[in-house]
Chain A
Amino acid sequence: GDSVTQMEGPVTLSEEAFLTINCTYTATGYPSLFWYVQYPGEGLQLLLKATKADDKGSNKGFEATYRKETTSFHLEKGSVQVSDSAVYFCALRGGSYIPTFGRGTSLIVHP
């Protein structure tokens, strides 16, 4: 079945540091890929998405590129802020309309 593997957290960075959160997936066919963000005490918000190979999703300075050859969708940001502190979930939707989530990666950004 489909699966998503995310790097373990927490990831702790200083403000303005470069961020990478790794995500790899296993799926049949051509899934759509997503990053969701969950701020403390809130629900999940869609951060960005990519629907086919080589697509780059971007939003709020975050980017991720759909790499079919490496089955990856790593999340990056050039300069993180304290307000980016949250839990980030990588997810995919394949042939089924039911999504598969990764375990989540907690990001802590210090001033």
Chain B
Amino acid sequence: DTEVTQTPKHLVMGMTNKKSLKCEQHMGHRAMYWYKQKAKKPPELMFVYSYEKLSINESVPSRFSPECPNSSLLNLHLHALQPEDSALYLCASSQRDGGLAGAQGAKNIQYFGAGTRLSVL
């Protein structure tokens, strides 16, 4: 099973709403990621969790609040978003260690969910 499941698939919210995006994986991966992707652009890294601890925050505004309740789940809590936050939000997971090339290369694979298409009105 190489599946990363994201819910919901689509979300429309007003600027005063509070909502959450959810991500789940059962591959035993200990690194999980949130990305934001605008149309026709590559994914932009937002947050990285490593062993359930936040290890990277790419200067993301505080209206985005990540949470990793356990090793299989990753949430992104949204509050007071702006219309420019409308985008596709992607979750991904991988084994924690970058590893070396060759035999350990399989550890380097990052698996993505299908994303949540967010529209902020």
Question: Which residues does A use to contact B, with CB under 8 Å?
Answer: 30-32, 34, 36, 41-46, 49, 51-52, 87, 89, 91, 93-99, 101-104, 106
Contact = CB atoms under 8 A, between A and B. Distances in A.
Contact of B105 (A32, A43, A98): A32
Interface string B65-107: 0000000000000000000000010101011111111100110
Nearest to B58: A98
Given A36-B112, A49-B105, 17 more contacts: A30-B102, A32-B101, A34-B109, A42-B115, A43-B115, A46-B110, A49-B108, A49-B109, A51-B108, A87-B40, A93-B98, A93-B110, A97-B31, A97-B96, A99-B110, A102-B42, A104-B40
A32 B108 contact: yes
A63 B111 CA distance: 20
Interface string B52-72: 000010000000000000000
Given A101-B43, A103-B42, A44 B90 contact: yes
Nearest to A103: B42
Contact of B114 (A32, A43, A94, A99): A43
18 contacts: A31-B101, A32-B108, A34-B110, A42-B114, A43-B113, A44-B43, A44-B92, A51-B105, A51-B108, A89-B42, A91-B110, A93-B110, A94-B98, A98-B48, A99-B108, A99-B110, A102-B42, A106-B40
Interface string B25-50: 00000010000000011110100101
Contact of B102 (A36, A44, A51): A51
